[in-house]
A = this chain, B = another copy of it.
């Protein structure tokens, strides 16, 4: 089966949770009305279904291939990328000043999800270009913005992020690549970078590498790293001294080339050392990279939702088709399609509830970013941006962890067929596995949640979210509806667990870091679970505003929300207990005993 974009669900989230109507009243977003959004999503869904999705399995069977320093992408990718950029999809969220559409992040996020559902490997190329654009917008000069951004949006060029080195993964303080000033404002770069997504490919004429490297006089550690632009081919046509030594053989996202890049081998047409230019100020590279990474982290969260949605669609279709065994309740004398069996239903509901919950949270987060960017009031901007930043590690960490669970359930629903590669369910299980690792592992997200987002303000913002959740509990209780009242109780328990954990983290974060960081990932999982559940509960309430002809959608949304509260939220208690147990049992084993 092909991929069908969940447009109805996305529009519901945008209109009823993310406040798209009010975003379209902000300066600069006047065109972003719900009608426009619906039209964009419709078009985007068709494009991804027809052009991008059919290349997904193809990419798994015929991955990008390396030969003599060049990478040939999966057959069809180059043409599809041309259609993608020509359709204006690369510029969706970027400013019209540089050739983009200037749509709010909330709308572009829905489109990004679709692209990733259709083809995770393909989507990484535009995602990295987005990252490069963000970095240039953050720290580039006007001339740099004018030179690079329009060509990244047109897809003439694509972008990369060059952070990792063999000895420097999560720990970028260990970066060793160096940049030597040439006295003419340019630099020569030397070093080896690994895990460079789309670091070499044949889908565009040129590649804009954004590279972390050290200047000769730079201080040690993270405060001595600068950001550089290195073009694969200089604008005068000379081949620069950056080379793809190999690409990795990976568990998943095989079509996406993961390059080892060597800077300064002397094999190009420019002498030895890749010619580059500084972005922003010297020694502030990591800071710029983090701004860009925030956007990329959010996008990886969308990838989690995207692969979960695709896995769900495939599993649901199979479960409705595959006939096996009689119903346990004796409601039929014959074998029935397996969707009728309670445990298959439980698996599908789990997949669906996690996916919808994470989508709702991600789109609400995007809307906070939109208000944070466009609101005329500076205080409102700051408050919304802070709320967005609080949610980014949850969107990234929780959505990607759940995507592995969902993709694994998708295999399970297929039974033996799920283990056969031809079926396709296994590809999602393999593809999803990178998402909790790249752009910062779940532990790195959790460090961010604990350190910058919780301990720094004593848990104030985290508890502000708890207060918002409790308002939803009140609203659910006030309906008097039995299902809603039950949900309110489940939400309350989860929220109280969260509040206990926030208090614990805020209290011990500085005095006893091991105690807090031993539970950082359980805290992230608890917080993500609760926030997605909060949005599902809010969805339940919002279904009451839907017109009569939406009754089927409303019923499905309420059922899924109720399932989330009954089956997913209860995990919070165990996570709370794990966090509150502290570091003792986590750190007790001596290193040599492992």
Contact = CB atoms under 8 A, between A and B. Distances in A.
B577 A574 contact: no
A323 B169 CA distance: 10
Interface string A421-464: 11000100110011011100111001100000000000000000
Nearest to A169: B415
A573 interface: yes
B571 A559 contact: no
A433 B421 contact: no
A574 B585 contact: no
A248 interface: yes
A433 B441 contact: no
27 contacts: A170-B324, A171-B324, A171-B325, A173-B335, A174-B335, A250-B420, A251-B421, A251-B430, A316-B594, A328-B447, A328-B514, A329-B514, A341-B517, A342-B517, A342-B520, A343-B446, A343-B517, A343-B521, A346-B521, A348-B594, A562-B585, A566-B581, A570-B573, A570-B574, A572-B574, A573-B573, A573-B574
Given A341-B443, A349-B589, A328 B571 contact: no
A591 interface: yes
A224 to B, nearest CB: 15
A66 to B, nearest CB: 14
A340 interface: yes
Interface string A546-565: 00000010011001101101
A195 interface: yes
A238 interface: no
B249 A422 contact: yes
A581 to B, nearest CB: 4
Contact of A577 (B562, B566, B586): B566
A416 interface: yes
A328 B571 CA distance: 27
A345 B337 CA distance: 44
Contacts of A443: 341, 343-344
Contacts of A419: 248, 250-252, 433-434, 437
Q: How many copies does the complex hold?
A: 2
A452 to B, nearest CB: 13
B421 A249 contact: yes
A416 B437 CA distance: 6
Interface stretch (A79-87, A286-294, A404-412): A404-412
Contact of A415 (B437, B514, B590): B437
A519 to B, nearest CB: 8
Contact of A433 (B249, B352, B426, B521): B426
Contacts of A324: 169-171, 174
Contacts of A520: 342-343
A341 B251 CA distance: 26
B433 A429 contact: yes
Given A174-B324, A335-B173, A563-B586, A555 B343 contact: no
Contacts of A421: 249-251
Given A335-B171, A415-B170, A588 B559 contact: yes
Contacts of A316: 594
Given A328-B447, A342-B583, 12 more contacts: A169-B324, A195-B416, A328-B517, A329-B513, A342-B587, A343-B443, A345-B586, A349-B589, A408-B433, A411-B433, A562-B585, A570-B575
Interface string A308-352: 000000001001100111001110000101011111111011001
Interface string A511-530: 01110011111000000000
A533 interface: no
A418 interface: yes
Interface string A337-381: 101111111101100100000000000000000000000000000
The 9 closest A-B pairs by CB, nearest first: A570-B577, A570-B574, A559-B588, A566-B581, A343-B443, A251-B426, A563-B585, A342-B518, A171-B325
Given A170-B415, A412-B441, A591 B339 contact: yes
A577 B340 CA distance: 23
A167 B338 CA distance: 12
Nearest to A514: B329
A112 interface: no
Interface in A155-214: 164, 167, 169-171, 173-174, 194-195
Contact of A588 (B169, B323, B519, B563): B563
A316, A570, A572, A594: residue with the most chain B Cβ atoms closer than 10 Å: A594
B570 A342 contact: no
Contacts of A422: 249
Given A415-B441, A416-B438, A170 B563 contact: no
Nearest to A331: B514
Interface string A62-79: 000000000000000000
A70 B562 CA distance: 53
A1 interface: no
A437 B420 contact: no
A567 interface: yes
Contacts of A174: 324, 335
A20 to B, nearest CB: 24
A593 interface: yes
A420 B249 contact: yes
Contact of A251 (B429, B434, B586, B587): B429
A38 interface: no
A342 B514 contact: yes
